[in-house]
Amino acid sequence: MKLATIRTADGATRAVRVEGETLVDLGLADVGELLAQPDWAERAARTRGSAVAGVGYAPVVPRPGKIICVGLNYRNHILEMGRELPRYPTLFAKYPEALIGANDEIQLPPESEQVDWEAELAIVIGKTVRRATEADAAEAIAGFAVLNDVTARDWQYRSPMWLQGKTWEGSTPFGPYLVTPDELPGGSRPSLTLTGSVDGEVVQQADTSDLVFDPVALVRYISTILTLSPGDVIASGTPGGVGHARKPARYLADGGVLATEITGLGRSEAKAVAESVA
């Protein structure tokens, strides 16, 4: 099942089930509101709402309660950055203001000259869970989506803490839609290929088999620290090929197009635009 939050011509948003070219209205404002329903999966599957026209995708979950990101989680990226494989996940946060729809414009802030790309698999939580067992963790995953953790490297490395480079407003494409695990090879540990490209040139490509900590392991680990709730998002890390690691380094430029695609999860294509500051 594919679920999305779309924008409508009147400026509102709607949660929909995506059936090919048809968007079935689920009677709720967004996917976050849907996931808050205890019977969300049954409700989304059985609803026979009318088709609705959208004018674009909003972030899959527009305002998650938590966005927890994982750094250095693909073996090839860890080696690319000259680091050793970690014993535990490296965690940091992002905030809802950073999220944009799959095809919205990425805002390039005038304060940064090193805005980089990070194609990622996003894990969306569909059930409240704390100190999850492996079975609990797998069951808590509502589905997966495309995300790009666009990063201001010059701000990220101002200090040992990464937050200030990771959550710039209007920077993070998320979507187009969520796909439930039953539709993916491997289910809650899906076997998928990520591809990131800039201006049509492939810059990142990897399989999720290269993850150090897979989605179930991440849900188990993070839920030990705090309760994960429906609609929360985990960005599971990026593979090698980021611009900062290139020689010479390469970054997003005004007018550049960043595309992120994951097999089975669709494609995000977002234009980078210099932010206008009054």
| C-beta of residue 230 within 8 angstroms of C-beta of residue 127 | yes
- CA dist 192 and 69 (Å) reads 19
Q: What is the DSSP letter of 40?
A: H
Q: What integer is the mean pLDDT of 43-54?
A: 92
- CA dist 111 and 208 (Å) reads 33
Q: What integer is the mean pLDDT of 17-45?
A: 96
**pLDDT higher than 90, residue 196:** yes
Percent of the chain whose pLDDT exceeds 70: 100
- CA dist 101 and 55 (Å) reads 11
Structure confidence by residue, pLDDT tens digits, 198-244? 999 999 999 999 999 999 999 999 999 999 999 999 999 999 999 99
Domains and CATH numbers, the chain: 1-58 (no CATH), 61-274 (3.90.850.10)
Residue 75: its pLDDT value, please?
87
Structure confidence by residue, pLDDT tens digits, 157-193? 999 999 999 999 999 999 999 999 999 999 999 999 9
- CA dist 75 and 253 (Å) reads 28
Phi/psi of residue 14, nearest 5 degrees:
-140, 145
Average pLDDT of the chain, as a whole number: 96
DSSP bridge partners of 134:
none
Q: What integer is the mean pLDDT of 126-145?
A: 98
Q: What integer is the mean pLDDT of 119-148?
A: 98
**pLDDT higher than 80, residue 145:** yes
Please list, in sequence order, all residues whose beta carbon lies within 8 angstroms of the beta carbon of residue 201, skipping any fewer than 6 positions away: none
**pLDDT higher than 90, residue 49:** no
